[in-house]
Copies of this chain bind each other. A is one copy, B any other.
Amino acid sequence: MTTDTLSLTFAALADPTRRAILKRLTSGEASVTELAAPFRITLPAITKHLKVLQRAGLITRTRQAQWRPCRLEAAPLKDAADWVEQYRRFWDERLDRLEEYLREMQEEDKRHGRTPK
């Protein structure tokens, strides 16, 4: 079981329901019932997802209010973004190579007097 912050963040994001919950919270605080509404899953199942998000520091639950609304905490996502960003040049490289290949194909076509596809 990994417990480093980045692993907790990525593990929390590795589920479509949890990602949808975070998305919903971008438009403001919400109660557990409100968060459960769009999903065909039980309240205990939602609570389990919320615990994973809470453990990763991606949401907090207000203690003051009776209904304890959930609130998005985006800070851990910054580290996740920074980690992934290190690889940008590798996915860009692939696109660069593809662009270069297409350019070469077009030049080849021109040399042979073909109209580009």
Question: What residues make up the interface of A, taking CB atoms closer than 8 Å to B?
Answer: 2, 4, 6-11, 13-16, 19, 22, 26, 72, 74-75, 77-78, 80-81, 83-88, 90-91, 93-94
Q: Which residues from chain B contact A14 at a C-beta distance below 8 Å? A: 2, 7-11, 14
How many copies of this chain are found per oligomer? 2
Q: Name the 10 nearest CB pairs between A and B, nearest first.
A: A74-B90, A11-B14, A10-B14, A74-B91, A10-B13, A81-B84, A78-B91, A77-B87, A74-B87, A7-B14
Q: Which residues from chain B contact A90 at a C-beta distance below 8 Å? A: 26, 72, 74, 77
Residue from A7, A72, A78, A84 whose CB has the most chain B CB atoms within 10 Å: A84
Q: How far is the CB of A93 from chain B (nearest CB, A)?
A: 8
